[in-house]
Structure 1
Amino acid sequence: MSTLVDLHVVSLAERPDLEEAMLTMEAAWPEYIRPDPVLVDWAFDRHARHQLVVLDDGEVVARAASVPFAWDGDPGSLPDTGWDEALRQSMTDTYAGAHLNTLCALEVAVVPGKRAQNLSGRTLAALKERARREGYNDVVVAVRPSHKHTEPHVTMAEYAARTRPDGLPADPWLRVHVREGAEIVKVCPASMTIGGSLAQWRAWTGLPFDRSGPLVVPGALSPVMVSVEHDHAAYVEPNVWVRHRLTRP
């Protein structure tokens, strides 16, 4: 267990009884963001010590999920299918007995009412500190920029390149990472892919999905592609790979 001032950070390896509270914690993910439950369950079971919960007076207020994998340190080799591939690669490398030298953060989330406490940055710092103590070389993150959904037609490359006059990223969540020492290394254009029937998308979003073509959906970072003729829609989410070095280059 570690402490963030008056908060406590524990892993599911230390407190397995918190798994349900961690998974059901209120967060800002849209309903249609649905990671593969089999891979998520595997990660929580096999790498429980990398699933962190932040407690405030016994209440779950933030979480950080991550998985280890083997990485050669070349930013170009980070997968273009970011989030999805990180889970698959972790499973492959774990069973292959590879040297797991890098920790990939899948999510750092804060209960909406607690965001003013800079819990996202503090939780990220706690994750990095644990990774450093365990001997990892890097923490990498396929970041979901927090304001990209307001400009779904702008390419992720253009959006991620925007900076403020002080040189920091214009996006708040990317800015948190850079302030914590990260470098933005590349866009992962297909970090997560979600497909479903039009009935499913209507249930997830409340939108009619009655025309083929690109559709702007609340919370989506890019338009959802709809095919009325084939009764399906697909959302391909771009993210941004950032690298937190834990050792000297």
Structure 2
Amino acid sequence: MDFTIAPLTGRTELVEQLDGLWPAFVTKDPTGAFFYRHYQDFWPEFTLLAVDGATGRVAAKAHSVPLSFTGDIGEGLPENGWDWAIRTAALDRLAGTGPTVVSALEITVRPDLRGRGLSGRMLAALRDNAARLGFADLIAPVRPTGKPAQSTRPIDDYAYETRADGLPADPWLRVHVRAGGRIVNVAHSSMVAAGSLEQWRSWTGLPFDRTGPVAVPGALTPVHCDVEQDHAVYVEPNVWVHHRA
């Protein structure tokens, strides 16, 4: 397929073609509203779409935001990675603070096109777009795609596991490292989603009727369920990766 990858530039209806592909509970992190409510107006040049030239259908999308970070990236990025990136970008815009880096937020590939290298092309396009806009650094709170299959394993072990060739064992981290990215540190509380047990039942189809950890399909770690208090909380870890743009 011949894909054209370019910034959003008002093509909002095309982005919506890829809505609804994430597990429902992932979209319940309230911090996400800072970004997804405003990205079309605030950061349209930081969202990229891959469009099939033959059909006009969207094949993939990539969201990112510009933000300010004054520390040394190599010494570590914030523990509340994805949430921090969105909040910082929104607050910087409100305060008029000049951004210094670009943070990736999401790369989504249409299900029928996965496994064909398109995610790597979108990552490269995000890096090139950051450079085009005058930035030297692209950071990414990466959601390891293989982690749900090992949800009880500590992220600090999983994130740094390598294969015999020295590349990360996780497929998505491996794409980043192959592209020249460097793993910086784990963001242990990158996303947080909380709700009543009834809400969690509606999001997952699971009973949530016992206090303790609950294995939820698609979750990187168990969800903490408290029946007496009628709530459950999911704290998702991500892995910070740094690319030079």
**TM-score using structure 2 length:** 0.93
Asked if the contact 1:27/1:111 (under 8 Å) is kept, the reply is no
Asked if the contact 1:26/1:112 (under 8 Å) is kept, the reply is no
Q: CA deviation at 1:204?
A: 0.9
1:72 is aligned, of 70, 73, 80, to 70
Ranges of 4+ aligned residues in structure 1 off by more than 4 Å: none
Asked if the contact 1:226/1:234 (under 8 Å) is kept, the reply is yes
Q: Structure 2 CA distance, aligned partners of 1:69 and 1:149?
A: 29
Stretch moving more, 39-48 or 103-112: 39-48
Q: CA deviation at 1:24?
A: 4.2
Does 2:48 match 1:52?
Answer: yes
Find the counterpart in structure 1 of residue 38 from structure 2.
Answer: 42
| Superposition map of 1:147-166 within 5 A | 147-166=146-165
Q: CA deviation at 1:74?
A: 1.5
Asked if the contact 1:101/1:135 (under 8 Å) is kept, the reply is no
Structure 1's unaligned 5+ residue stretches are none
Does 2:4 match 1:8?
Answer: yes
Find the counterpart in structure 2 of residue 234 from structure 1.
Answer: 233
Find the counterpart in structure 2 of residue 19 from structure 1.
Answer: 12
Find the counterpart in structure 2 of residue 30 from structure 1.
Answer: 23
Q: CA deviation at 1:27?
A: 6.3
Does 2:84 match 1:97?
Answer: no
SS where residue 176 of structure 1 aligns? helix
Give the aligned length.
239
CA offsets 1:14-63 (integer angstroms, 9 cap, x no match): 2x1x3233134156421111143243212332011101111013110100
Asked if the contact 1:198/1:232 (under 8 Å) is kept, the reply is yes
SS where residue 159 of structure 2 aligns? helix
Residue type matched to 2:179 in 1?
E
Q: CA deviation at 1:188?
A: 0.1
Using the aligned pairs only, state the percent identity.
46
Asked if the contact 1:26/1:111 (under 8 Å) is kept, the reply is no
Give the superposed CA RMSD.
1.5
| Superposition map of 1:110-129 within 5 A | 110-129=109-128
Residue type matched to 1:65 in 2?
H
Stretch moving more, 216-225 or 19-28: 19-28
Does 2:169 match 1:170?
Answer: yes
Residue type matched to 1:158 in 2?
D
Asked if the contact 1:27/1:109 (under 8 Å) is kept, the reply is no
Structure 2's unaligned 5+ residue stretches are none
**TM-score using structure 1 length:** 0.91
Q: Structure 2 CA distance, aligned partners of 1:189 and 1:85?
A: 12
Stretch moving more, 165-174 or 33-42: 33-42
